[in-house]
Amino acid sequence: MQGYQEKRDLERTAVRIFINLYNHNYESKLRLLYQRERPDAVLQHRNHHMIGVEITHLFYDSEEAKRLLGRSQSRNLNQEVVEMLIAELNKRIQTKEMKINNYATAYPIALIIRNASPAFGMSDILRAKELIYKPQGRFTHVWFLSRDGSDEWLMKDLQQL
């Protein structure tokens, strides 16, 4: 049960970051309608149109995830390379893409990816943009949330790269 609540809390934080960035940058304002499992959350535009969102968190590897979530005291840091993070990013996009193919929704679905890895920021990802997998499925957008050397969150639609 604790793992489920932690997952929901992480998703709620990611969707709040996304909504704040989206509403700051776009005229069509969004709000969280509700969280659920398929898709992870449903948002609503001011004009009452709904959009489903799948949410995932990107870590460099499982050891980094454990360390950042307080489940490991290990300080053993390997040489981290952006290509490995991009490989993990691509795997997450493809996994979520396969997952939504089984959804029966009356509204479009977007993907939100929150970069939780402190080792790499938005500029690192954008420099390697040619390596990023572009989904062919039903995602209207692939929103990537990341910091870039500061506490400020940035947002980029990976579908537009």
Residue 73: what pLDDT?
A: 64
Beta-strand runs (E) in 67-129:
109-115
Whether the pLDDT of residue 148 is over 80: the answer is yes
pLDDT tens-digit readout, 62-81? 676 666 666 656 665 555 68
Alpha carbon distance 139, 77 (integer Å): 34
* Distance of alpha carbon 42 from alpha carbon 51, whole angstroms: 6
CA separation, residue 1 to residues 4, 5, 7, 19, 68 (Å) = 5, 6, 10, 27, 20
List beta partners, residue 131.
none
